[in-house]
Amino acid sequence: MGYVINIRLQRRGRKNDPSFRVVVVDSKKKPKTGNYLEMVGSYDPRADRVEIKGDRVLHWLKNGAQASDTVHNLLVSQKIIDAKKINVLPKKTVAAKEVVAEPEAPAPEAAAQVETPAEEVAQTEDNSVAQEAPAA
């Protein structure tokens, strides 16, 4: 199994003041090792500043490197590559919005039916506990 070359962000900067390097790195390396193959740009989200060496990124992409989702979106916004942006939000968040957008009428009825047997079971357990208490 060979290794994969990734183009990804490497966090730099102080606490609560992030800035990132855009680096080409072996996929098996940790993000903070500093042992990257080449630094091809930088990204400062607070100042909304992006500096990317487009020719070097295209060179690595042609040689089989894979860009992370966020780097891919930066490359699209800088018009270095021609593609659609990728949704980097977690799928869990997207699913929650869909549930809120679609109100379902049968759901409250089903919930009422589910609660009724639970209440009956609770009453039965209370009666059995009450009967056992005087016997003991």
- pLDDT by residue (tens digit) across 83-98? 999 998 887 655 445 5
Same-domain pairing of 21 and 82: yes
- CB-CB neighbours of 31 under 10 Å: 13
Write out the two tokens for 37. 């193959």
> Is pLDDT at 5 greater than 70 in this prediction?
yes
Q: Is residue 121 part of a domain?
A: yes
pTM of the model: 0.63
Same-domain pairing of 72 and 111: no
The domain in which residue 110 lies consists of: 103-135
- What 3-state class would DSSP assign to 89? coil
Task: Please give the full DSSP string across 18-30, using - where no structure is assigned.
Answer: EEEEEEEEETTS-
pLDDT of residue 3: 78
pLDDT in tens, 7-28: 999 999 999 999 999 999 988 8
Same-domain pairing of 20 and 74: yes
User: In total, how many domains does the chain have?
Assistant: 2
Pick the closest to residue 8 from 63, 70, 62 (CA basis). 70
CATH code of the domain in which 15 resides: 3.30.1320.10
